[in-house]
Amino acid sequence: MSRRWAILIGANACGYDVNLPSLRYAEDDARAVRAVLLDERIGTFDDGDVDLFIGKGATWREIKARLRERVLESRPSDVLLVYFAGHALVPEWGTQSDAYLVTADLEADGLRREPDNGLRMAFLKRDVFEAFAGTSFLILDCCHAGVYLDSELRHTEAMQTYRTQVDRHSALLACPSGAAARESEEHRQGVLTHQLLRALRGEAADPSGKVSFAQMATFVAEQGIHPAPGQLVHMWGPTTVLTQPPVSRHERQSLTAPVNSGTIRPCKNPLDDLSSSITQLLGRVFRSQSRPPRSAQQAGHAERVEVIRYALEADSVAVVESSPTGIGQVTSTARFNKEELRPLLELSAADTTLVRTSSPGHVVADDAGRRILCVPLSQKNSRNLTLAVVDPALAALDMGEPLATMLRAIWNSDVRDDPVHAEMQVLTALRSAYGRLPVDLYSHAFSLYQKLIESLTMVFQPVMSLDRRPAGVGIHSYEALARRLETDVRAPVAALQMAYAWGDRFVIERDALLLAKAIDSYAEADVASVFDVTKPISVNVAVRSLLSDAYIAQVRTAITEANLDPRTVTLEISEQDPIQPDPGEVWPQEPLTYFHRRLTSLARDLEISFAVDDFGVGYSSLARMAELPLTQIKVDRAVLHHPLAVEELDLVTRVARYASDLGHAPNPRAVIVEGFDEQAPVTLKQIYDLRIRHVQGFICGETASTSLRPLGQSVRDRIAAMVRGDDD
């Protein structure tokens, strides 16, 4: 159930050493607002949830304590209304971008020494409304009320930044910054409060008799008050009802947007207005200290539905399967009742084709006001898996399509055991679906991705030198590979690939962090190894990173700080990356020519080498392989499993020898076959007979490691036997 709190403050007195005249009606105004909110006929608040601070009881310490108490226990469905009638003070030593609400105990002279000893507008914005989990409203009937719009913000433009940070907050302000609010002797009330009370008592009601915050604010603005009041109305301002027609409390329906019974409505897409809502949801899923503890009975899917239920403050959550035979329950939280909800679940399943093609989620509702948010998870033949969220907090539900996108990503992630990667999956899903994120979410994602990449471990996989003799078999070089844990066999592909959804900045940062980690780790491993001479090391890099001067500076710095000979370093360029300018980008030459000159210059300046990685997939081309200044060509394991694998490998070796055969290079470029294992259809003998002398993969139990180890004699014997073709 949602909770509706109000904190009402009225102060006629002006504290200590405040050179302002006492007011006459501020305390009565606060009492009058309380009376309307608690009115048995029209009020929508309960007595125990409305706090009144007036006269000597209106102290900043007590008010701030109660505000923070409400914030810390808030949930997404809660509502908080704060009203203040009195004076506002802008200290002479302060700035015009902040002000204090004058309480009975305010000591103006002491603020110079202790600026937080008072009720600051910046405190309301930063520590109350930005942190409140639900929907919040502020009414200021005081001088300088407009300062609130300009008070301390975390970014630049006041209104725009504030709008993206606190999207479920609205405010009504008596006057602009620097202007004075007035009391009316005729009405014996503050001018703003008089019109506000008229609105709440029904003069601003809609055709159904309800008065929302937005209707109240609009009514007040239309009354010709001078100076004109200011208003800031965001999500739920138009639908959060403050007063309503006289009905008994037992007969009252939902105080938010009406339910359209028996309909399916598509979610909307207001991503730019949802920054704080998304941030709060991410916090509840991944960082909340009050999240239910993990239990022995909850694991995998059962745990995920419980996390989603908590995050959305839903009645219950389940994953249901619909098929021609009916609706089944895959997993659910404790209170989910499939039979009770069957009519709504069947309504949702009846039109799944239309819903899936138009929206990532939809809402179904009944006459009793029950809602189910349905998010399709998978579809196979005639069996559909759907996430069903029963009665989620309405403030969260109004996020629309982004909420559905996030829930699907949460369901497909490891929320508990790998929260950083899981949160990045959710943000990447939003990025992929909507193309861009608000600046604060983008910045958060960048910091989170840095943390994710920095958490990876670099291991080194040996590249074997082949020979018919065991003595000639050895380790030619190593490739640095990223792993979550040293013992992992596979790369964290999802973590590495998600950078491409975000663009060049993420790709370049990923490559720079991995290169620095690889070079540093390799230098340490080399010192601890038994090798007399440092073996060459190769590190993967994207095309876009090699076009970045910042990345190149990182290469230079990493090699220098590790005291590594740059001639031992090779950067492997993935064939999965296109060599072409981005849209709107202009290169001075044809792409392959421009990139060739870039690599030539870098090789000369840095004294490093370059290689083609993953040849045989992506953007592979003979021209690319033949024309770039490369020292080696790495053939992807996909070539080994091609029906014409031997013919393709032969072609690669001829291209690798082409320049040396013409006398344009002293030696042919080395060819390395990646991903070789004993299940490969091409044998080591066939590879060796094609004059390919290097392979990389899981041969005879040799795996990647954080340490550099020489090959054991038994491994060398086995590989030599495979090369000769006389192995079993």
Per residue in 305-327, pLDDT (tens digit) is 999 999 999 999 999 998 888 88
Alpha-carbon distance of 197 to 211, in angstroms, equals 11
Domain co-membership, 291 together with 226: no
Assess if residue 259 is contained within a domain.
no
User: DSSP state, 580?
Assistant: S
Same domain, 208 and 141: yes
Task: Answer whether 401's CB lies under 8 Å from 435's CB.
Answer: no
| Single residue among 230, 251, 272 that ends a domain in this structure | 251
Q: Is the domain of 533 the same as that of 637?
A: yes
Per-residue pLDDT, 248: 44
Which of 145-159, 398-412, 482-496 has the lowest average pLDDT?
145-159
The pLDDT confidence band at residue 504, using thresholds 50, 70 and 90, is: very high
pLDDT of residue 8 exceeding 80, the answer is yes
CATH number, domain containing residue 516: 3.20.20.450
How high is the pLDDT of residue 145?
Answer: 87
What pLDDT is recorded for position 45?
Answer: 94
Q: Are residues 410 and 556 in the same domain?
A: no
Does 290 lie in the same domain as 200?
A: no
349 & 204 share domain: no
Residue 441 located in a structural domain: no
- Whether residue 19 lies inside any domain: the answer is yes
Enclosing domain of residue 608? 456-724
Q: How far is CA 451 from CA 224, 419, 509, 563, 682, in A?
A: 54, 11, 11, 26, 41
As given in the structure block, the two tokens for residue 517 are 């980690």
- Quick: pLDDT tens for 516-546: 999 999 999 999 999 999 999 999 999 999 9
Domain check: are 10 and 124 in the same one? yes
95 pLDDT band, cuts 50/70/90, is: low
**pLDDT of res. 636:** 82
Q: What is the pTM of this model?
A: 0.76
Nearest CA-CA partner of 609 in 579, 580, 573, 652 = 573
Confidence label for 51 from pLDDT (cuts 50, 70 and 90): very high
Query: At residue 354, does pLDDT exceed 60?
Result: no
pLDDT tens digits along 220-230:
999 999 888 88
> 82: domain CATH number?
3.40.50.1460
Q: Within a domain: residue 445?
A: no
Indicate if 330 and 464 belong to the same structural domain.
no
Specify the higher pLDDT residue, 647 or 149.
647
626, 655 contact by CB (below 8 A):
yes
What pLDDT does residue 489 have?
86
User: Is 62 a residue whose pLDDT tops 80?
Assistant: yes
Pairs from 525-532 (Cβ < 8 Å, separation ≥ 24): 525/460, 525/706, 525/707, 525/708, 526/564, 526/708, 528/707, 528/708, 529/707, 529/708, 529/709, 530/710, 531/708, 531/710
On whether both 317 and 199 belong to a single domain, the answer is no
Domain boundary among 218, 251, 284: 251
Q: Once rounded to an integer, what is the mean pLDDT over residues 574-582? A: 83
Domain count, the chain: 3
Lowest mean pLDDT among 198-207, 442-451, 651-660: 651-660
Q: What is the mean pLDDT of the chain?
A: 85
pLDDT at 469 over 60: yes
Over residues 193-205, the mean pLDDT reads 95
* pLDDT in the model for residue 614: 67
Per-residue confidence band for 259, with pLDDT thresholds at 50, 70 and 90: very low
Instruction: Tell whether 545 is covered by a domain.
Output: yes
Assess if residue 258 is contained within a domain.
Answer: no
Please check whether residues 685 and 610 belong to one and the same domain: yes
Residues 23 and 99 in one domain: yes
Mean pLDDT of 203-218: 91
- Binning pLDDT at 50, 70 and 90, where does residue 266 land? low
Q: Cβ(38)–Cβ(354) under 8 Å?
A: no
CATH number of 310's domain: 3.30.450.190
Strand pairing partners for 538? 479, 570
Nearest to 324 by CA among 356, 357, 355, 349: 349
Q: What is the arithmetic mean of pLDDT over 239-264?
A: 60
* 159: in domain: yes
b/e 676-706 (16+ beta carbons within 10 angstroms → b): beeebebbbbbbbebebbbbbbebbebebee
**Confidence (pLDDT) at 351:** 62
Task: State the Cα–Cα distance between residues 316 and 372, nearest whole angstrom.
Answer: 10
The pLDDT of residue 726 is above 60: yes
Residue type, 521: S
Q: What percent of the chain has pLDDT over 90?
A: 50
pLDDT over 70, % of the chain: 87
**Do 271 and 246 share a structural domain?**
no
Q: Is residue 631 part of a domain?
A: yes
- Picking from 434, 469, 490, the residue at the C-terminal end of a domain is 434
User: Phi and psi dihedrals of 503, rounded to 5?
Assistant: 105, -175
Tell me how far apart the alpha carbons of residues 147 and 98 are, in angstroms, rounded to a whole number: 6
At 661, the pLDDT band (50, 70, 90 cuts) reads low
Looking at per-residue pLDDT, the higher value among 655 and 546 belongs to 546
Spatial contact of 249 and 148, defined as CB atoms under 8 Å apart: no
The answer to whether the CB of 491 falls within 8 A of the CB of 482 is yes
